[in-house]
Structure 1
Amino acid sequence: MKLNELELSVDYFQFDKKFYQKLESTPLNNPHLISYSKSACDLIGLDYSSCESESFVAFMNGENVLKGSVPYSMAYAGHQFGYFVPQLGDGRAINLGSINGWHLQTKGSGLTRFSRQGDGRAVLRSSIREYIMSEHMHALGIPTTRALALIGSTHPIYRSYDDIDTGAIVMRMSTSWIRIGTFEYFSRGKDAQENLKKLTDYVIKQSYPHLENEDNKYERFYCELVEKTAKLLAMWQAYGFMHGVMNTDNMSVAGLTIDYGPFAFMDTFEMNCICNHTDMEGRYSFCNQPEIARWNLEVLAYNLGKICSFKKLIGYLKSFITIHQKEYLDLMNKRLGLDKRLSKDSNIDLVISLLEALEKSKIDYNCFFYRLSKLKSLDSINSITDISIFRDSIIKWFEEYKKVIENQNQDFKYMKELMLKVNPKFVIKNYMLQEAIENAKNGDFKLTNDLLFIAQNPFLEHKEYDRYSNPTPIEYANIQLSCSS
């Protein structure tokens, strides 16, 4: 369909007005198209040619409101770094409505009632990062929000006295924008029970429709979310992804990765790696992510406990770590090309010793797995030891690996075929994104679009960008970022 043929629908106004704000976007100065995702267009049936039109840029900039759209921002609360904040919300995001089950949202569209001390804007650098990473996570099979398009502008954005950037807007798409923090907000006040029931019914209809007519649907919704989140975190850990800000207002009740801020894929492997420089205590470090997700789900249980059995919710939450560990070991076995069914303990000792060896060797995490997939034989591991700063630990681990393969009678040629299906040649790193950002600041968006294509097709060769399949240059490895990065 052409852009003017799209018709959006809005279903959020069934709630009290205190839970949202109807408003119009504040357009950026001199907007221009930077990129659009054909893959995301397909989800809503949008014709590609429409994305190259002036009316599409106007749509992104809030100047062209589609039929059925009533723009609004949502209120929510949240635990930020463990401390409860009763009033948060879409401080720079505006919801436009949904189509084909996808809720469209612009990020960086100006002030809302929930902006607090912010300016309601998103800068070019953070917008490029979120745009590309949303699509990359999907390509890796990790549940995530999506990104339709990105526009830039000449609109000046001031983040500090000497930090002047230009404004940009990302069109984000999600099957749901409801967060654990939304439940925290709805659970306050004299009508808490009624509001929570309405919200939970809304979430079930939106993301768990098979539960609508089931008994104990509130508890069952929670149980399914626990499982989805446990599996999501297993994928984050297996691929070395760090979210950076796992506040309850950044945790989806649809089991998706949302709100890309100071994220990072692991460069040199560090179990306690922190990607957010404001996370002084390491609350959201790599190794803490599963436990923080469980903690956030416990917060949700306390709020849902007002309308269903809190005891049952907490009882099921006890299964979180078990589900997470099982899924994680499944994924790690696949990344190693192993059939876990041939092991009584899913090769847990081998996986643990690998993580220890990777850290001691100071080796690039995802590069290790890709090079493992491309080895000609297990007796010729130079391509891996060559990227190890310290080799002894990784050489010792390979002896363990070979014994497991021999004991389980696994064929390495067949193992390599399995590994290449889950070990991408390319994982988008922050130094790559920074290169695209620097070019974009000078009006050159070629690398932004090339990185988008690589991000969406990480298992292809992309010979022109072979250097991106190598370890992250040491001077850029595991650099911490800010929330506005």
Structure 2
Amino acid sequence: MELRQAFATHLPWALSQVEPQGLENPRWLLWSQDAAEMLSLVGPDANALAVFSANARMAGASYHAQVYAGHQFGGYSPRLGDGRAMILGEARDIDGQYWDIALKGAGKTPYSRHGDGRAVLRSAVREFLVSEALFHLGVPSTRALAVVGSETQVWRESLETAAITVRLARSHIRFGHFEYVTHGERDPERLRQLVDFTINQHFPHLSCDTAGYAAWFAEVVQRTAVMIAHWQAAGFAHGVMNTDNMSILGDSFDFGPFSFLDTYRENFICNHSDPEGRYAFDRQPGIALWNLQRLAQALSPLISSDALIAGLDGYQHALVQHYLILMRQKIGLPAGQAAEDLQIVSGLMSLFEKNALDYTNSMRMFAQWRPGESHFALRDECLDSAAFDAWFQAYEKRLGRVADAELWRRQRQAANPRYILRNYLAQEAIDAAQQGDNQPLNTLYQLLRNPFDEQPDMAQYARRPPRWGEGLICSCSS
């Protein structure tokens, strides 16, 4: 595998060269054959283990950490950077797309501050699982190639073992990169270099001039809106939507505490470190806009305020439009009637919340019903049957006549997953892996590769969580 070094070559001031620190007695925990085949890599072997455990340097790799700033929980941090990630370079996939290859947890960098630059097994595994789970659900996301475990010990709240996630990203450029250059470097020329590089590498259909810059920002707004629409439709809570965790390409990125909804709650908080709920599930659309506004401020030396405002003005329409596209697919409504459809979707979410229903399982019930049938199993789950009947009457009226009920049902199956990455399932698999048993981990991963298929022998993975696992949340510790 040959690596390109476009970022390191064109923006040397935006990174620091680093030296990886290998893991002791490394072992494979997870390997994505899908991602490996995408990059034309042979399956996990001894050479790959040496490279991805940071015990051997990959030929042609740069090994650098990028510097950026960011708004974290609303407060500005002027100098952050890759505190535990090292980027080796960009590899070309079978379709000609380039992917950054990064080792997350390979030791200290100049941006580690007081940290050790390591990732622990639980966080490395969770990042792999959520990256691949989102990808197979069709949600824009970075990907993961592998997780390497070890006997290297690190201290968090207790003694744990270190691991490395091999992350794949179409780009590691974040909103925070632009904030760093404008507010920290205060260098308009470097800002122009960064924007030009971003456009040339990732938005080649746009020009590097006044009109192109404005069009580029508007497209970043659109891509971000599409990503958030996917999160809301999938019932996914990111948990740490700082500007340094926002990809300029609109990919789900940098996972700390996260959760897919179990019982539907609009104000669900998945991050133990977020007691005020800044990044609660229902606040994600607004926070994304707030982050885009911070990006606009950072770009103001290069792009006119009128163009920035025009770009931001497109956010809400793009978000609602794409959210409705996704939700119509999930509940089977034809296109059109935006205001009425929003009301129908909102009414359904209200039923879910008032009746404490499981989001994924309840949405999947649309794949078990055929239009025209008098009985809809979702009604049996609602304590307030009258409220359901009122909603269902409006829904059926809007749905209208369906020519092929069986085709309609199969389409709902393709839009509503049977399986998601529930936190309690991840925790059970992690507990087993920490005891040396990788089978539950790999079984869970293989399940998440085909989330829309029934897989009858795996039905237990679709059940609602046990009491201890309902609404399980995590902290920001790594």
1:438 aligns with 2:435: no
Is 1:450–2:443 an aligned residue pair?
yes
Q: Which amino acid aligns with 2:148?
A: I
2:239 aligned partner, one-letter code: G
- The 8 Å contact of residues 246 and 252 in structure 2, kept in 1 or not, is answered as yes
Contact 1:9 1:98 (C-alpha < 8 Å) held by counterparts: yes
Q: Aligned equivalents of 1:355 and 1:40: distance in 2? A: 35
The answer for the alignment partner of 1:95 in structure 2 is 87
- Tell me, in whole angstroms, the C-alpha distance in 2 between the residues paired with 1:348 and 1:290: 15
The one-letter code matched in structure 1 to 2:255 is: Y
The alignment of Structure 1 onto Structure 2 pairs a total of residues equal to: 472
- 1:388, distance to aligned residue in structure 2 (A): 4.9
Equivalent positions of 1:351-362 (< 5 A) are 351-362=345-356
Q: What is the alpha-carbon distance in structure 2 between the residues aligned to residue 386 and residue 152 of structure 1?
A: 45
- 1:397 paired with 2:397, answer no
Whole-Å Cα distance in 1 between the matches of residues 144 and 321 of structure 2?
A: 31
Q: What secondary structure, in the 3-state scheme, does the structure 2 residue paired with 1:133 have?
A: helix
> In 2, are the aligned partners of 1:78 and 1:84 still within 8 Å (CA)?
yes
Task: Report the counterpart of residue 166 of structure 1 in structure 2.
Answer: 161
CA distance in 1, matches of 2:250, 2:388: 35
- 2:59 is matched with which residue? 67
The one-character-per-residue Cα deviations of 1:301-360 (angstroms, maximum 9, x if unpaired) are 11111112122112220110111011111111110011123x463522111111111100
Counterpart among 277, 291, 298 of residue 272 in structure 2: 277
Distance 1:24 1:386, change over 3 A: farther
Structure 2 counterpart SS, 1:97: strand
Q: Which moved more, 1:138-147 or 1:447-456?
A: 447-456
Contact 1:338 1:415 in 2 (8 A): no
- State which of 211, 231, 248 in structure 2 corresponds to 1:236: 231
Distance 1:189 1:433 in 2: 39
Who is 2:359 aligned against?
Answer: 365
Matching residue's letter, 2:50: A
Offset of residue 471 of structure 1: 2.3
Cα drift, residue 259 of structure 1:
0.6
Alignment partners' CA distance in 1, 2:166 and 2:386 = 48
Aligned partner of 2:475 among 456, 479, 482: 482
- The equivalent residue for 2:369 is 375
- Can you list the C-alpha shifts for 1:383-406, whole angstroms capped at 9, x where unaligned? x35555665544543333233334
Between stretches 410-419 and 86-95, larger displacement belongs to: 410-419
Q: Tell me if structure 1 keeps the 8 A contact 2:419–2:447.
A: yes
Distance 1:472 1:381, change over 3 A: farther
Structure 2 length normalisation: TM-score?
0.94
> Which stretch has the larger CA shift, 205-214 or 448-457?
205-214
1:259-279 CA deviation, whole Å, 9 max, x = no partner? 111111111000111111111
- Residue equivalent to 1:153: 150
* Contact preservation (8 Å) 1:358, 1:394: no
**Which residue does the alignment assign to 1:331?**
326
Distance 1:456 1:337 in 2: 24
Q: Secondary structure, in 3 states, of the residue corresponding to 2:19?
A: coil
Q: Quote the Cα distance in structure 2 between the aligned partners of 1:294 and 1:388.
A: 34
Question: How far apart are 1:191 and its partner, in Å?
Answer: 5.4
- Structure 1 residue aligned with 2:46, among 51, 54, 64? 54
- Is contact 1:108–1:167 with CA below 8 Å preserved after alignment? yes
> Is this contact kept in 2: 1:275–1:480, CA < 8 A?
yes
Asked if 1:263 corresponds to 2:272, the answer is: no
2:104 is matched with: 107
Task: Give 1:304-315 correspondences, 5 Å limit.
Answer: 304-315=299-310
Question: How big is each residue's C-alpha offset from its partner over 1:192-246, in whole Å with a ceiling of 9 and x where there is no partner?
Answer: 1111111111111221111146662211111111111111110100111100000
SS at match of 2:79: strand
Deviations 1:30-85 (A, max 9, x none): 1111121111012211122xx1x221111011222222111010111000011000
**Aligned-partner SS, 1:216:** helix
Residue 138 of structure 1 corresponds to which residue in structure 2?
135
| Cα distance change of structure 1 residues 344 and 92 upon mapping to structure 2, 3 Å threshold | closer
Give the Cα separation in 2 of the matches to 1:71 and 1:184: 23
Q: Distance in 2 between matches of 1:325 and 1:370?
A: 22
Q: CA deviation at 1:472?
A: 2.7
Cα contact 2:226–2:322 (8 A) shared by 1: yes
Which deviates further from its counterpart, 411-420 or 317-326?
411-420
Whole-angstrom distance in 2 between the partners of 1:205 and 1:346? 41
Q: Secondary structure at the match of 1:170?
A: strand
Q: Give matches, 1:244-259, under 5 Å.
A: 244-259=239-254
Distance 1:197 1:255, change over 3 A: same
CA distance in 2, matches of 1:115, 1:339: 51
Identify if the C-alpha distance between structure 1 residues 481 and 189 changes in structure 2 by more than 3 Å, giving closer, same or farther.
Answer: closer
- SS of residue paired to 2:56: coil
Describe the superposition over 1:363-419 as per-residue Cα deviations: whole angstroms up to 9, x where unpaired. 00011111221136643234x35555665544543333233334x666543421221
Residues 1:222 and 2:229 are matched in the alignment: no
Letter paired with 2:361: C
Within the candidate set 200, 203, 210, 1:205 is matched to 200
The corresponding residue for 1:3 is none
The secondary structure found in structure 1 opposite 2:419 is: coil
| Counterparts of residues 401-420 of structure 1 (less than 5 Å) | 401-406=395-400, 412-420=405-413
CA distance in 2, matches of 1:285, 1:378: 37
User: 2:417 is matched by which residue type in structure 1?
Assistant: P
Segments of 4+ moved more than 6 angstroms: none
% identical aligned pairs: 37
What secondary structure, in the 3-state scheme, does the structure 2 residue paired with 1:102 have? strand
TM-score, normalisation: structure 1: 0.93
Q: Which residue of 1 aligns with 2:179?
A: 184
Per-residue CA shift, 1:142-178, capped at 9, x if unaligned? 1100000111001112102xx2211110100011000
Letter in 2 for 1:128: V
2:454 is matched with 461
Letter in 1 for 2:399: I
Worse-matched range after superposition: 355-364 or 467-476: 467-476
CA distance in 2, matches of 1:307, 1:344: 36
**What value does the CA root-mean-square deviation take over the aligned residues?**
1.9
Report the Cα offset of residue 468 of structure 1.
1.4
Q: Contact 1:145–1:175 (CA<8 Å) still a contact in 2? A: yes
Contact 2:146 2:165 in 1 (8 A): yes
| Structure 1, unaligned runs of 5 or more | 1-5
370-379 vs 417-426, which deviates more? 370-379
